[in-house]
């Protein structure tokens, strides 16, 4: 029971950054952050700083392009380990409410593994023999360097990325609201409605699975709907685009033929407009 309640209230993996600020991370945020343009800008700046400052003296044996390739490969490898570890931690967090992580620990693990891999890549590019002693001598400096870059990223870059995600969420929420209509206090998804017909002071609302009679005016409902969703062939009817089979009836009395065989009358004054709408369907 407790596990079920935790899953319902789960807001993401609880994380504390280097300065003790708490936030929650979800897989959606990870998917949004990894390919984000700000990530590429940050990686490019990090590589430029590392190459120009000649960290570990790589430029003494490697050309500038090769040194850049070496550092860029290292950053990509660290990022891959970050994402893998965080993904595993998110899965654990969904099962255990007590699970939290201190973000720099993810960086330390990722940097430690990557340091030894990076020195192996350096030996391949430079032709020098690979030794654990060389990699170990770089480890402490790399951990401190990674901690610095990570802290700067969390302070200045991560908030910008999340701001973009918040804007995207706002757009999706507005689109979700725009794709619904309210009739007599009841909310319907527009793409579930097949037709709406006026009967005195009531509206017959036909959906994919039901038919309901609700008090209301068709004009008020149509005012909530965009023309892309459907058409009003007659003052007493609104028909969804997705249920229309085609035109029917005689030359003097045209109808809209629905996929279930129903015929909806088209007012004479509306025939040309309905045909034009169908042509653009």
pLDDT, tens only, 226-248: 788 889 999 999 998 888 888 88
Render pLDDT for 134-169 as a digit per residue (tens, 0 to 9). Answer: 889 999 999 999 999 999 988 888 888 877 766 555
Question: Would you state the pLDDT for residue 141?
Answer: 92
The tokens describing 185, both together, are 């206090």
In the prediction, which pLDDT does 171 show? 46
* Mean pLDDT, rounded, for 18-37: 82
Q: What is the pLDDT of residues 112-121, one digit of tens each?
A: 999 999 999 9
Fold of 181-279: OB fold (Dihydrolipoamide Acetyltransferase, E2P) (2.40.50)
Q: Are 148 and 111 in contact (CB under 8 A)?
A: no
Where in the chain are the domains?
2-178, 181-279
List the beta bridge partners of residue 230.
240
Instruction: Tell me how far the alpha carbon of residue 5 is from its chain's centroid.
Output: 25
Strand pairing of 202-207 and 193-199? antiparallel
Question: Which phi and psi (to 5°) does residue 229 adopt?
Answer: -85, -30
Reported confidence tier of residue 185, pLDDT bands at 50, 70, 90: confident
* Residue 47 CB coordination number (10 Å): 19
Structure tokens at 157: 């870059």
């Amino acid at each position: 029971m407790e596990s079920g309640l935790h899953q319902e209230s789960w807001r993401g993996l609880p994380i504390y950054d280097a300065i003790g600020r708490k936030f929650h991370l979800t897989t959606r945020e990870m998917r949004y952050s990894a390919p984000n343009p700000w990530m590429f800008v940050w990686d490019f700046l990090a590589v430029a700083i590392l190459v120009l400052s000649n960290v570990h003296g790589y430029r003494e044996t490697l050309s500038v392009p090769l040194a850049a390739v070496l550092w860029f490969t290292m950053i990509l490898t660290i990022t891959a380990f970050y994402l893998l570890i965080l993904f595993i931690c998110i899965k654990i967090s969904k099962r255990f409410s007590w699970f939290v992580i201190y973000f720099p620990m993810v960086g330390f693990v990722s940097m430690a593994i990557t340091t030894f891999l990076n020195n192996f890549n350096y030996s391949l590019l430079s032709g020098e023999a690979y030794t654990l002693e060389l990699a170990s001598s770089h480890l402490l400096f790399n951990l401190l360097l990674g901690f610095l870059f990570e802290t700067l990223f969390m302070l200045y870059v991560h908030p910008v990325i999340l701001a973009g995600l918040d804007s995207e969420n706002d757009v999706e929420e507005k689109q979700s609201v725009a794709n619904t209509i309210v009739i007599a206090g009841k909310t319907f998804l527009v793409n579930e409605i097949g037709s709406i017909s006026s009967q005195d002071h009531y509206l017959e609302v036909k959906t994919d699975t039901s038919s309901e009679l609700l008090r209301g005016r068709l004009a008020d409902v149509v005012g909530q709907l965009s023309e892309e969703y459907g058409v009003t062939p007659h003052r007493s009817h609104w028909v969804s685009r997705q249920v229309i089979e085609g035109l029917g009836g005689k030359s003097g009395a045209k109808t809209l033929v629905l996929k279930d065989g129903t015929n909806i009358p088209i007012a004479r004054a509306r025939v040309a407009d309905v045909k034009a709408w169908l042509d653009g369907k």
